[in-house]
Amino acid sequence: MNYNFDEIIDRRNDPYSYSMKWSKNPMMAGMLGVDSINDETIAIFTADMDFRCAQPIIESLHKVADHGIFGYSGHFCSEDYFNAVINWFKRRHNWEFCKEDMVYSHGTVEALKLSVQAFSEPGEGVIIQRPVYGPFTMVIESSGRNLVNNQLIEGEDGFYTIDFEDLEAKAKDPNNKMMLICNPHNPVGRIWTKEEMQEVARICRENDVIMVADEIHGDLVRKDAKFTPMASVVDNSNLITCTAVNKTFNLAGLGCTNLIIPNKDLRDKYSASAGFSTPSPFGIAAVISAYNEGEPWLEQVKDYIDGNIDYVLSFLKENMPKVKCRRPDGTYIMWMDFREYGLTPEEIHKRIYCDANVLLEGGMMFDPDLGGGFERVCIPSPRSVINTAFQRISEQFK
């Protein structure tokens, strides 16, 4: 089946959309720092595709709805659920684990929060690598833990690397108990190499630091790139991996994250702290159909996203050469550097969000200290939407 990703689907005014991304709700406007959101506002600020899901997933959800009973459900009641997840990662990523290693969570941010609470105490340190996805900060600070930043090194043309000397110094501090790792990294787009992951793992293992790897963008990589799950190349005795259909198949609203925790002691401790949780019958059906029948859709959507990325890079080069942006190895996120304009973050925000009426995410959400002048854009939308958004933005920087 061929999918049409150029199709414009109304997510703002359709009464059954319930979309946060395209909402005109005043609360969303306040969160994004604008007075109001209207029908002309373009929303490309969040990791949420504007593409219809794979047809097999839609059909499986119809079957659940047609069944008509939505009582308590459990993924553990279906061997198909476990087999779908296990076979996907074995087939696509040469990573093997068993169903006993799997723990369900309602979402990845929830899983990160519960991990922080399970494996550290208030006042203890959790290491992150800024600039990084804002909820990494949120789950640490809201849990009363100490945020410890191992700042990524910004290199030429936006290529970021890990400061291993700084990481080792911070891991040696006995108060720092955990590290949250993002791979592929959101927002800078790096896929960490095998050697980089092994060095991170060595440092953490030698200093008794538990690692939690957020790998939910791992299936969304460029056609010429390869993603390697961290657990497949390191000693995973102190590693928890977050996997999900949410980004890969645009199913974030169904909340289905699977944690892979091979160490039974860690798994038992996490489960005891997190409590009992299971997906809805819709979530169970979606995971099974996505991993068993979703590959043709995924390959097509990856091609389309690659085209969007190439379009944005070409547009910036021709129309806004002062904006620096590296082609990301993975994710559908682009990390744009506006600093060469010499404007304050507030002025950049005004020109894009208010004057151009385009909603992005400001860099200080990802790095309060060094993120000023950066903007994050998520580009899994019809190309006509991306084109209009960037045409509007470029007009404000002439």
Topology of domain 58-293 in CATH is Aspartate Aminotransferase; domain 2 (3.40.640)
Listed by start position, the domains of the chain span 26-53+296-395, 58-293
pLDDT tier, 184 (very low <50, low <70, confident <90, very high otherwise): very high
By percentage, how much of the chain surpasses pLDDT 90? 99
pLDDT tier, 66 (very low <50, low <70, confident <90, very high otherwise): very high
β-pairing, 125-128 with 176-182? parallel
Task: Compute the mean pLDDT over every residue in the chain, rounded to the nearest whole number.
Answer: 97
Per the omega criterion (within 30 degrees of 0), is the bond before 122 cis?
no
Pairwise CA distance, residues 119 & 267, whole Å:
11
What residues have CB less than 8 Å from 213, skipping those under 6 apart? 181, 182, 183, 229, 230, 231, 239, 240, 241, 242
Q: Is this model's pTM higher than 0.75 or not?
A: yes
Topology of domain 26-53+296-395 in CATH is Aspartate Aminotransferase, domain 1 (3.90.1150)
Contact 201, 239 (CB under 8 A): yes
Q: What is the mean pLDDT of residues 314-331?
A: 98
Contact 179, 200 (CB under 8 A): yes
Angle at 363 between CA 359 and CA 365, to 5 degrees: 90
Is residue 338 pLDDT above 90, yes or no? Answer: yes
pLDDT tier, 156 (very low <50, low <70, confident <90, very high otherwise): confident
**CB burial string 168-206: b at 16+ within 10 A, e below:** bebbeeeebbbbbbbbbbbbbbbbbeeebbebbbebbbe
Q: pLDDT tens for residues 87-115?
A: 999 999 999 999 999 999 999 999 999 99
Pairwise CA distance, residues 246 & 16, whole Å:
19
| Coil, strand or helix at 202 | helix
- Return the structure tokens found at 100: 């006993």
- Return the structure tokens found at 162: 């890990």
What residues have CB less than 8 Å from 88, skipping those under 6 apart? 291
Is residue 322 pLDDT above 90, yes or no? Answer: yes
| β-pair partners for 147 | 126
In 80-234, at which residue ranges do the beta strands (DSSP E only) sit?
102-105, 125-128, 146-149, 153-154, 160-161, 176-182, 210-214
Contact 182, 351 (CB under 8 A): no
Q: pLDDT tens for residues 228-270?
A: 999 999 999 999 999 999 999 999 999 999 999 999 999 999 9
Q: What is the mean pLDDT of residues 214-236?
A: 97
